[in-house]
């Protein structure tokens, strides 16, 4: 799903043009994941769903991918107003 958007997300990861919300950082720590796990999930994963945020009207995307150890995780991301990828949250599958 959404191959052009996924390609763009991957380019943001490769060029390190992304930010993480505090919530995403907390979830990453709680699940004992590293930023490399999150990056790999986006680089190897697929967009499985697109949702419109009820408050802002922005699109957010659910990307399912693999961590560096092969575990499956879901990363919720969007394109931010500053033209950076924003990692909203993540969770193991």
pLDDT tens-digit series, residues 15-67: 999 999 999 999 999 999 999 999 999 999 999 999 998 988 999 999 999 99
- 16 forms bridges with which residues in the sheet? none
Cα distances (Å, whole numbers) of residue 12 to 68, 81, 85, 92: 19, 14, 6, 22
Give SS3 for 54: coil
Domain extent, residue 25, equals: 3-92
Q: What total number of domains does the chain contain? A: 1
pLDDT band at 14 (very low <50, low <70, confident <90, very high): very high
pTM recorded for the entire structure: 0.93
Q: CA angle 12-18-23, nearest 5°? A: 140
CATH number at residue 86: 3.30.2310.40
């Amino acid at each position: 799903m959404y191959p052009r958007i996924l390609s763009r997300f991957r380019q943001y990861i490769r060029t390190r043009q992304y930010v993480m919300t505090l919530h995403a950082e907390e979830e990453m720590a709680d699940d004992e994941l590293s930023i490399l796990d999150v990056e790999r999930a986006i680089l190897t994963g697929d967009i499985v769903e697109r949702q419109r945020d009820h408050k802002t009207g922005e699109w957010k995307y659910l990307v399912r991918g693999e961590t560096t150890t092969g575990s499956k995780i879901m990363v919720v991301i969007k394109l931010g107003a500053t033209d950076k990828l924003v990692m909203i949250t993540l969770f193991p599958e």
